[in-house]
């Protein structure tokens, strides 16, 4: 294709995509369940939100649950418009076969209460692109869902997806890639600083002395935010383990054993079990902490060396 004809094709695509703006994406959608206390309770438990507004005779649903009441669940959506299907097919045809949700924005007009039955319509608000992204070049499709109860608007939910043509950069590189680096943040920086000094540090609550691992900003036992650390002595046992066969991960060499190690201090840590063939790792196996640098330029990692418990008849 010459340069000018490819430009023309992309202009034509842009025009066809723009024509979808304002067209319905969902018509006459109805929530599968009314707003209800069990779903509110599960949500609040999952998020650890003990807000008093969400229980009792005058309970309201957390505002951010707005989308929950409109979701199709495993049995799928109903009411998706032909226009929306056409839009997705057009993007597929243009090579934008991958999709990723990018963000959502919600507005709340009034609280929802148990018993409310939501209805909703959704329109294609905008189709923007082509945009070059790290994932590949594609189009941002924003839909706006208007949610109502008995005809009264209760909120809007804007949802944006990127439909894109996967770039070659997202294909597995041919060279074995480096291992993923640990995510170091302000809550666990002290742990990684300890690892650098060959110390495995466990947090200890200054309020109730409870040990905790992995590192967290607060104590699960008493809620206290003050802590110091104790250094693990390095002895542990395999509390549980899995052997990873699949999927293969670049820079890792399956099969290998991932252990849940119970430290002598009583807390547990997920780590590699080394020094023992993957199929000889056993629950209860004693292990000993050591530090290994797997790749140049990466931090050392705590791992646990096991000793095969001799098979029956072993020497
Ligand atoms: Zn505590």
CA distance 64 to 283: 43
Ligand 1 center–CA 300 separation, angstroms: 30
Ligand 1 center–CA 283 separation, angstroms: 30
What are 58-81's pLDDT values in tens digits? 999 999 999 999 998 888 776 778
What are 122-141's pLDDT values in tens digits? 999 999 989 998 889 999 99
Ligand 1 center–CA 149 separation, angstroms: 45
Spell out which residues have Cβ within 5 A of ligand 1, the ion: 205, 207-208, 210, 219, 221-222, 224
pLDDT for res 3: 61
Contact (CB, 8 A) for 287 and 271: no
pLDDT for res 75: 81
Evaluated on CA atoms 130, 132, 138, 140, the torsion sign reads negative
Domains and CATH numbers, the chain: 3-166 (3.10.129.10), 185-231 (no CATH), 233-315 (2.40.50)
Ligand 1 center–CA 234 separation, angstroms: 23
Residue with token string 């802590």? 227
**In degrees rounded to 5, what are phi and psi of residue 101?**
-75, 135
Question: Which segments in the chain show pLDDT lower than 70?
Answer: 1-5, 78, 168-177, 308-315
Enumerate the H helices of the chain as residue ranges.
3-18, 37-47, 82-93, 189-196
**Joined tokens for residue 102:** 């990018």
Ligand 1 center–CA 216 separation, angstroms: 12
CA distance 103 to 128: 14
Ligand 1 center–CA 56 separation, angstroms: 30
**In degrees rounded to 5, what are phi and psi of residue 23?**
-85, 155
**Joined tokens for residue 277:** 């063939």
pLDDT for res 121: 93
Ligand 1 center–CA 226 separation, angstroms: 8
Ligand 1 center–CA 47 separation, angstroms: 20
pLDDT for res 117: 97
Ligand 1 center–CA 213 separation, angstroms: 13
Ligand 1 center–CA 194 separation, angstroms: 22
pLDDT for res 172: 52
pLDDT for res 313: 36
95: left (phi over 0), alpha (psi -120 to 50) or beta: left
Ligand 1 center–CA 184 separation, angstroms: 23
């Amino acid at each position: 294709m010459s340069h000018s004809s490819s430009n023309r094709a992309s202009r034509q695509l842009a025009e066809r995509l723009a024509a979808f703006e304002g067209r319905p994406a969902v018509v006459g959608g109805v929530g599968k369940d009314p707003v209800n206390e069990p779903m509110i309770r599960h949500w609040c438990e999952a998020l650890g939100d003990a807000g008093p507004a969400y229980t009792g005779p005058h309970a309201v649903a957390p505002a951010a649950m707005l989308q929950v009441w409109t979701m199709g669940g495993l049995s799928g959506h109903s009411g998706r418009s032909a226009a929306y299907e056409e839009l997705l097919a057009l993007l597929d045809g243009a090579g934008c076969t991958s999709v990723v949700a990018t963000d959502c924005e919600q507005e709340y007009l009034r609280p929802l209460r148990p018993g409310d039955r939501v209805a909703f319509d959704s329109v294609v608000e905008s189709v923007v692109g082509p945009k070059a992204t790290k994932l590949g070049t594609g189009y941002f499709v924003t839909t706006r869902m208007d949610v109502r109860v008995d005809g009264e608007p209760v909120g809007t939910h804007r949802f944006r997806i990127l439909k894109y043509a996967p770039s070659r950069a997202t294909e597995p590189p041919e060279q074995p890639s480096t291992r993923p680096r640990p995510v170091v943040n302000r809550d666990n920086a002290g742990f990684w600083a300890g690892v650098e000094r060959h110390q495995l540090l466990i947090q200890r609550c200054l309020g109730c002395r409870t040990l905790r691992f992995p590192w967290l900003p607060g104590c699960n036992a008493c809620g206290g935010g003050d802590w110091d650390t104790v250094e693990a002595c390095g002895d542990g046992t395999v509390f549980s383990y899995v052997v990873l066969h699949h999927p293969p991960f670049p820079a890792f060499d399956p099969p290998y054993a991932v252990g849940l190690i119970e430290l002598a201090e009583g807390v547990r840590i997920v780590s590699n079990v080394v020094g023992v063939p993957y199929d000889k790792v056993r629950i209860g196996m004693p292990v000993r902490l050591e530090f290994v640098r797997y790749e140049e330029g990466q931090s050392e990692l705590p791992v646990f060396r096991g000793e095969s418990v001799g098979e029956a008849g072993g020497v």
